[in-house]
Structure 1
Amino acid sequence: MKEITVSENEAGQRLDKLLTKYLNLAPKSFLYKMLRKKNITLNGSKADGSEKLVENDSIKLFLSEETIEKFTENRPVKILENDKRSLDIIYEDKHILLVNKPAGMLSQKASESDVSIVEHILSYMLEGKQITQDEMKSFRPSVCNRLDRNTSGLMAAGKTLLGLQTLSAMFRDRTADKYYLCLVMGRVENPSALEGFLVKDPETNMVSFSDREDGEASFVRTEYKPLKISRTEPFTTLLQVKLITGKTHQIRAHLASIGHPVVGDTKYGSREINEYFRKKYRLSHQLLHSHVLVFPKMDDEFSGISEKRFTAGLPKEFDRIVKGEF
């Protein structure tokens, strides 16, 4: 027999959902059969799986160790070497973690062998005993916003279920303000806003824009203002971009569509300008940085970030290029 005491991070979900996390190889039909036969009980009583769990609920599995082992796939998270140095933490409390992701690191793993910012966060929390391997069977901290692999800057992660749900809702409802810095080709003299409908090509993983809504197109809006224009040719402009919507490659593709691609962007950028910066600075990625995150008014549980502004400084390479060009 195995007993599971529902933790704070497990509360609020259905019993059957939690069971699929603990016995992740078991068919759902098996779980419901065990519930009907009272081989799985909730607080000593028969349950059907639809019950909403609360903290300290007791779930008992009257199953043999062999059966539990058979239906459980254990994939423990590895503690990464030198992990504290690899995480640039901007802010941390009980529920959330704000980190400055370096360019070149994935936001989330695309394959089993990948190591993303999420793995670094999990490793950091394991090493600091903020979470255990056993607790991660039913809940794993994760990021709530995504950045392209070669985009650097601020990312928000939920350390608890409440943190993850709250931040995810905030990004979904667009109640937080997100500002980016980027270096673009050409002279941008005036602030402006771009609107349109974005369409993604799944085969090329590229996006395009249209003035009219068509099929699965998503409405997007990007606001920008110039901060500095370079002193000499080839002219470039340092832009501050406010992301109103947040779609795949939105900033990169939107700016490229008006003739001002991000410097270093190999997908939407200019081959000539990229080659110039590669030769002069050995630049190998786009100069796009998630710079500022401004949170809305939030309840007392999140007083540490409520109506606060957080900034991630420019990476050394980006800063060196800005100083060299301006």
Structure 2
Amino acid sequence: MREFCIQENDSDQRLDRFLQKTLPELPKSLCYKWIRTKHIKVNRKRCTPDQRLVTGDVVTLFVSDSYFAIKTEEERSGVPEFLQAPNQLEILYEDERILLVNKPVGLVVHCDSRQIPDTLINRVLHYLYENGAYQPEQEQSFTPALCNRLDRNTGGIVIAAKTAAALREVNRLIRENKVHKKYLCVTVGTPKERKATLYGWHKKSASHNTVTVRDTPEEGFQEIITGYEVLASNERHALLSVDLITGRTHQIRAHLAHIHTPILGDTKYGNMRENRACRCKHQLLWAYQLQLETDADSCLADLNGLTVQTPPPPFMTKEFPKVQL
């Protein structure tokens, strides 16, 4: 028999999802069978896979302990992967619920096919572990997580949730477009209008990791909205502030390329001749400002209107040093 007492970071999730996180080696089919045959109970009562857990519930598995003997490679070595990453972070804001960090160019947010442990999430976990905010041995189903992503070669603000409630709430705010993000970028050429809102239709190709933008709706395409303002320009380039109104894969990069002003350094959608001439090997794009819009009954209600901004990115100080944000 095995028992789990539901903690605050375990609550408000379905029973089946709690079990999948807590016992990742347990086959889903066996999990559902045990629930159906009453080998798994909540507070010693019959339960269902979609039952919502609350703090203080006791989940009991009336099965042999041999099912829980499998250890992960991390558990066998005794060294969590996140400790292999540095703990250096540029912190823009922190409280007991969330952490806003300034991601440098070149750092991936999560582990990719290269399996390099130095990722942004591992740096965050290392930092929280050393500060006592994350104690993995005391957690059953929750690990601090990133709420938004940036491409490896895009720098700027990323939100990390330190609690399960904060993770759910920030994800909800993002879905409801209540996390307002502004980006800075340098484009090849200057858009015809100094300030505009672009509307288009977007489709991602998973096999090529690229997207296509159209002016009119087509099957399989989703609407995108991108606002921009030209802050400064010269003969070859322009500095833009961009409002990401809808947040889809490569949206800013593809949308600006679609109006023939691609981002300088962009190797997927950009002007390769200009990239080479400027010796620019990655897109000059930076998530420089973030503002939260929360509700009165939100667990983040006191953060309504919180606005965080990064220092000017390196490409701005180099190409447009006189522009003030």
2:219 counterpart residue number: 215
CA distance in 2, matches of 1:82, 1:119: 6
**Does the Cα contact within 8 Å between 1:176 and 1:294 map onto a contact in 2?**
yes
C-alpha deviation, 1:113, in angstroms: 1.3
CA distance in 1, matches of 2:131, 2:252: 36
- Cα shift readout 1:121-147 (whole Å, capped 9, x = no counterpart): 222222222222235551222222221
Q: 1:325 to 1:312 in 2, by over 3 A?
A: closer
One-letter code of the match for 2:174? F
2:180 counterpart residue number: 177
Q: Give the SS at the match of 1:120.
A: helix
CA distance in 1, matches of 2:230, 2:215: 24
CA distance in 2, matches of 1:57, 1:179: 42
Q: Give the SS at the match of 1:221.
A: strand
CA distance in 2, matches of 1:249, 1:38: 47
Q: Give the SS at the match of 2:83.
A: coil
**Does the Cα contact within 8 Å between 2:87 and 2:124 map onto a contact in 1?**
no
Q: Give the SS at the match of 2:278.
A: helix
Q: Give the SS at the match of 2:239.
A: strand
C-alpha deviation, 1:198, in angstroms: 1.1
CA distance in 1, matches of 2:281, 2:302: 37
CA distance in 2, matches of 1:191, 1:37: 63
Q: 1:36 to 1:236 in 2, by over 3 A?
A: closer
C-alpha deviation, 1:37, in angstroms: 5.4
2:10 counterpart residue number: 10
One-letter code of the match for 2:251? Q
CA distance in 2, matches of 1:266, 1:54: 48
**Where does the alignment leave 5 or more consecutive residues of structure 1 unmatched?**
none
One-letter code of the match for 1:266? T
2:265 counterpart residue number: 264
**Which runs of structure 2 are paired with 1:226-237 in the superposition (5 Å)?**
226-230=230-234, 233=235, 235-237=236-238
Q: 1:40 to 1:74 in 2, by over 3 A?
A: farther
Q: Give the SS at the match of 1:301.
A: coil
**Which runs of structure 2 are paired with 1:40-189 in the superposition (5 Å)?**
40-70=40-70, 73=72, 75=74, 77-80=80-83, 83-85=86-88, 87-111=89-113, 113-114=115-116, 115-135=118-138, 137-188=140-191
Alignment partner of 2:289 out of 282, 288, 292: 292
Q: Give the SS at the match of 1:134.
A: helix
1:240 counterpart residue number: 241
Larger mean CA deviation between 288-297 and 301-310 belongs to 301-310
Residue identity over aligned pairs, in percent, reads 34
One-letter code of the match for 1:285? H
**Does the Cα contact within 8 Å between 1:79 and 1:124 map onto a contact in 2?**
no
Q: 1:45 to 1:73 in 2, by over 3 A?
A: farther
Q: 1:108 to 1:302 in 2, by over 3 A?
A: same
Q: TM-score if structure 2 supplies the norm length? A: 0.88
CA distance in 2, matches of 1:289, 1:171: 19
Q: TM-score if structure 1 supplies the norm length? A: 0.87
C-alpha deviation, 1:317, in angstroms: 5.0
CA distance in 1, matches of 2:270, 2:64: 59
CA distance in 2, matches of 1:31, 1:18: 11
Say whether 1:200 aligns with 2:204.
yes
CA distance in 2, matches of 1:136, 1:119: 17
1:320 counterpart residue number: 318
Q: 1:130 to 1:214 in 2, by over 3 A?
A: same
2:256 counterpart residue number: 255
1:23 counterpart residue number: 23
One-letter code of the match for 1:207? V
**Where does the alignment leave 5 or more consecutive residues of structure 2 unmatched?**
none
One-letter code of the match for 1:195? Y
Tell me the number of residue pairs that the alignment of Structure 1 and Structure 2 aligns: 317
CA distance in 2, matches of 1:325, 1:49: 56
Please provide the CA RMSD for this pair: 2.5
CA distance in 2, matches of 1:141, 1:110: 18
C-alpha deviation, 1:179, in angstroms: 0.6
C-alpha deviation, 1:61, in angstroms: 3.1
- Cα shift readout 1:66-92 (whole Å, capped 9, x = no counterpart): 22114x64646324367332x111111
